[in-house]
């Protein structure tokens, strides 16, 4: 069984509380564009970190007032339109904001995140009055005993933890036929651009809330695609760091080899600003030792509107062919790269592409590590119904009407059964890295002397389907996931009002380069749109892409792909959804 055909997992579907699914505004129910911004205060809520800091420094707004603005928007949009991007709010957020306002007046700001509201994906521990559930009722109960390291570093930087974001339950490592963004605790998160479309996952709520301006920035986590896919489908910037750049201590795990904590922002600059607050060696996470000498406390310094000038960018067309619409957006993006001064090498080929897609090394590593790593995490929790993976499986069986209504827990059962041996696991670690890094990303970079490789992030968002699960078509995150390498995703264009992203990738610790080129693309393309919260797709809605559709590309693409049908049809049929 291949890696791709086995991991047909979506980022979780189903629904605990689906009451109110259709209880949005009259305009939303009619499928019309909402007049103005339904939450109000968009000019403030949608402002960048730098803009908010300038306003707070000038006394034009306080952190407490900013929190109030977001709370009003959450009431109007997340609840009023049933976006379901947020699991819970921090009852102490306003008090913390007021304390930070007082500190600013007495001492000045701690740094760029002072007074900035941040949402955390609900698999990141906070030792406060909020719970950490990973979206599962099995973890509902007492709060975590200790902050995750990334949560503590945000607090130390002066950020306000506004609440916890919805996610694909257990970061989508539970069962087959899932729908991205569903959790037993909160139900189905929706895409803010078109509400009956999927936000992707597993960091669904983090990206959706940032796109809807319900928070300034948000943390997500990625094992394979869980930061970049929601970024692409919700139309925000996402940074998935090198494994070990950010601590995973206090984060509900899937895999010590592949897990990483990343950031969603409405711009690369905002995401980069947050990333700088998260880095540094952490004694609670051995993987971070490798980041010594490789991390920065200030990634915002690498943001550049001219970041593409002279950069050597490889075009990975092996990831195209899933849909004509995606390819048209990607082709326009390639032209933006050229026009912005990049040296474009088109195409570049991954030598191990077919072998990697047919290989099961990633599957073996994730299945093998999940039981070990989850049991170690659960040992740090008390006051919750479960203490081991076996307990979680039994809990789900006993609460099947809530937890197993829409899909099962096959991945958990495989992990609990110890289906793979230690020898198979060790072999998979070696082979996976060879295919993904040495014969994958590293080989492409070295062959063409590249700064970065670019590929499409996603197809336009599919309709959410709680019965059949995700209509997933392709992903470009797998090589970086298995290699432990970073990714930066930004919006490249729109198809019928739905965002399509592109992903920049390179080798370990290359975040400065990726931030530079991705921010350069972002500035040159200038395609970002605020979501309009349409209830459903409108057949007469706009054009296919952000500009006039490129019909000449459509015909040339057929000629290009005719000689390599296996390369784009086979990966399309191998459904790897996001973890």
193: nearest Cα among 458, 399, 382: 458
- Considering 136, 203, 206, 226, which one is annotated as catalytic? 226
Residue 162, helix vs strand vs coil: strand
Instruction: Give the count of beta carbons closer than 10 Å to the beta carbon of residue 256.
Output: 17
Q: Identify the active-site residue in 85, 121, 204, 459.
A: 121
Q: Is 226 a residue of the active site?
A: yes
What's the CA gap between 132 and 185, in Å, rounded?
11
Q: Which of 168, 178, 202, 510 is catalytic?
A: 202
How many Å apart are CA 38 and CA 324, to the nearest integer?
Answer: 33
The reply to whether 559 belongs to the active site is no
Token pair in block for residue 344: 């474009």
CA dihedral 127, 100, 161, 385 (to 10 degrees): 20
Q: How far apart are CA 115 and CA 210, in angstroms?
A: 17
Cross-sheet strand order for the sheet of 217-222? 86-89, 160-165, 117-121, 217-222, 260-265, 237-240, 487-495, 498-505, 452-456, 312-315, 343-345
Find, among 483, 504, 577, 498, the residue nearest to 538 by Cα.
Answer: 498
3-state class percentages of the chain: helix first, strand second, coil last, to nearest 5: 40, 15, 45
Q: Which residue has the tokens 């892409």?
A: 545
Instruction: Give yes or no: 421 in active site.
Output: no
Instruction: Pinpoint the alpha helices (H) of 399-441.
Output: 400-403, 410-416, 422-433
CA distance 449 to 454: 14
**Parallel, antiparallel, or unpaired for β 117-121 and 160-165?**
parallel
CB-based burial, 542-568: b 16+ in 10 Å, e otherwise: eebbbeebbeebeeebeeebeeeeebb
| Beta strand 86-89 pairing with 160-165 | antiparallel
Distance CA 192, CA 199 (A): 8
Q: Count CA within 13 A, CB hemisphere, residue 31.
A: 8
- The catalytic residue positions are 121, 202, 226
């Amino acid at each position: 069984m291949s890696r791709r055909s086995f991991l047909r997992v979506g980022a979780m579907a189903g629904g605990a509380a689906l009451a109110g699914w259709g209880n949005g505004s009259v305009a939303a129910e009619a499928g019309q564009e909402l007049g103005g911004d339904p939450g109000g205060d968009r000019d403030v809520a949608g402002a960048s970190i730098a803009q908010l800091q300038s306003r707070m420094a000038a006394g034009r707004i306080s952190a407490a007032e900013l929190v109030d603005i977001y709370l009003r928007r959450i009431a109007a949009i997340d609840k009023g339109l049933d976006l379901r991007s947020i699991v819970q709010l921090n009852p102490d957020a306003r008090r913390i904001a007021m304390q930070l306002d007082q500190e600013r007046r007495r001492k000045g700001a701690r740094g760029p995140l002072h007074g900035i509201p941040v949402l955390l994906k609900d698999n990141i521990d906070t030792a406060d009055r909020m719970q950490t559930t990973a979206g599962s009722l099995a973890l509902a109960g007492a709060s975590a005993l200790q902050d995750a390291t990334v949560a503590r570093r945000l607090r130390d930087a002066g950020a306000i933890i506004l609440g916890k974001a919805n996610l694909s339950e257990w970061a989508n490592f539970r069962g087959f036929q899932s729908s991205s963004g569903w959790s037993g605790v909160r139900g189905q998160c929706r895409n803010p651009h078109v509400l009956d479309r999927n936000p992707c996952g597993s960091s669904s709520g983090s990206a959706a809330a940032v796109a809807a301006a319900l928070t300034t920035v948000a943390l997500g986590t990625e094992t394979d695609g869980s930061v970049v896919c929601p970024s692409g489908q919700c139309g925000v910037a996402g940074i998935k760091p090198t494994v070990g750049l950010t601590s995973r201590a206090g984060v509900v795990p899937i895999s010590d080899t592949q897990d990483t904590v990343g950031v969603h922002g409405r711009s690369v600059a905002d995401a980069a600003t947050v990333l700088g607050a998260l880095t540094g060696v952490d004694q609670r996470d051995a993987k971070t030792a490798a980041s010594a000498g490789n991390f920065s406390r200030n990634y915002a310094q690498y943001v550049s509107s001219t970041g593409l000038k002279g950069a050597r960018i490889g075009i990975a067309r092996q990831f195209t062919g899933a849909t004509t619409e995606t390819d048209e957006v990607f082709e326009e993006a390639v032209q933006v790269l050229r026009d912005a001064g990049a040296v474009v090498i088109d195409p570049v080929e991954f030598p191990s592409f077919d072998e990697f897609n047919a290989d099961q090394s990633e599957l073996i590593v994730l299945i093998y590590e999940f039981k070990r790593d989850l049991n170690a995490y659960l040992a740090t929790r008390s006051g919750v119904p479960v203490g081991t993976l076996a307990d979680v499986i039994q809990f789900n069986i006993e609460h099947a009407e809530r937890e197993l209504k829409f899909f099962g827990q096959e991945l958990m059962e495989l992990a609990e059964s110890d289906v793979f041996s230690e020898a198979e696991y060790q072999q998979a670690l070696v082979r996976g890295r060879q295919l993904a890094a040495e014969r994958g990303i590293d080989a492409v970079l070295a062959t063409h002397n590249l700064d970065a490789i670019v590929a499409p992030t996603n197809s336009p968002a599919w309709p959410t389907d709680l019965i059949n699960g995700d209509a997933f078509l392709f992903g470009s995150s797998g090589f970086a996931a298995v290699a432990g390498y970073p990714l930066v995703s930004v919006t490249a264009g729109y198809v019928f009002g739905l965002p399509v992203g592109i992903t920049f990738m390179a080798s370990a610790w290359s975040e400065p380069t990726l931030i530079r080129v991705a921010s350069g693309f972002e500035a040159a393309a200038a395609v970002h749109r605020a979501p309009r919260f349409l209830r459903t797709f409108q057949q007469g809605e706009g054009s296919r892409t952000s500009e006039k559709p490129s019909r000449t590309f459509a015909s040339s693409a057929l000629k290009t792909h005719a000689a390599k049908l296996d390369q784009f049809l086979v990966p399309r049929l191998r459904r790897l959804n996001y973890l």
